[in-house]
Amino acid sequence: MKLEFHHINFVSEDVDRLHRFYTEVLGLADVPVQSFPRPDATDSSGYDGKIRFATDGAMQMHLAHKDLGVAFRNGGVINPVERGHIAFRTDDIEAFKALLDAQSIPYSDYGTAFAAEWHQVFFHDPEGNVIEVHQAVA
C-alpha cells in the first residue's frame, strides 16, 4: 500500500478572498473547479459549499467554505470542513481502513459523497487534527 501527500484543505467564510491570497500573493496557480467533479449534494449526502483550488504544480490547496453541519448531514462523525485537514492519497483504501481498524482508530468513511472520483475516509491524529486518506476511483 502506497501513501503520498496530496493536499491541504483550509476553510473560510470567504473562499474567494482566501483563493486570491494564495494565487496573487503566494503565486500559486488556479486549478479550475471543473477539474474536481463533485456529486450533487442532497439533504443527507454530499457537500455543496463553495470550493476553489490552487497548486504549486506538485501540491494542491483545497479552499472550502466552512460548514459545521457536513458530518451530521452525511451520517458521519468527523467533519472535514469544520477546521480543514491534510490529505494523503493511497492506492488501496481497503488496506488503509484495515490498518486504522487494527490500530483502533475510528474514522468516517464518506466514500464518494464529496468527490465523485475519490473514495475518502477522515480520522483524527493524536492531537485532534483531521486527516483525509483517499483513493482515486474510476
pLDDT digits (tens, 9 = 90+) for 10-26: 999 999 999 999 999 99
How far apart CA 17 and CA 99 sit, in angstroms, is 38
Task: Give 23's contacts (C-beta < 8 A, 6+ positions apart).
Answer: 29, 30, 54
pLDDT digits (tens, 9 = 90+) for 115-124: 999 999 999 9
Specify whether the CB–CB gap between 49 and 73 falls below 8 A.
Answer: no
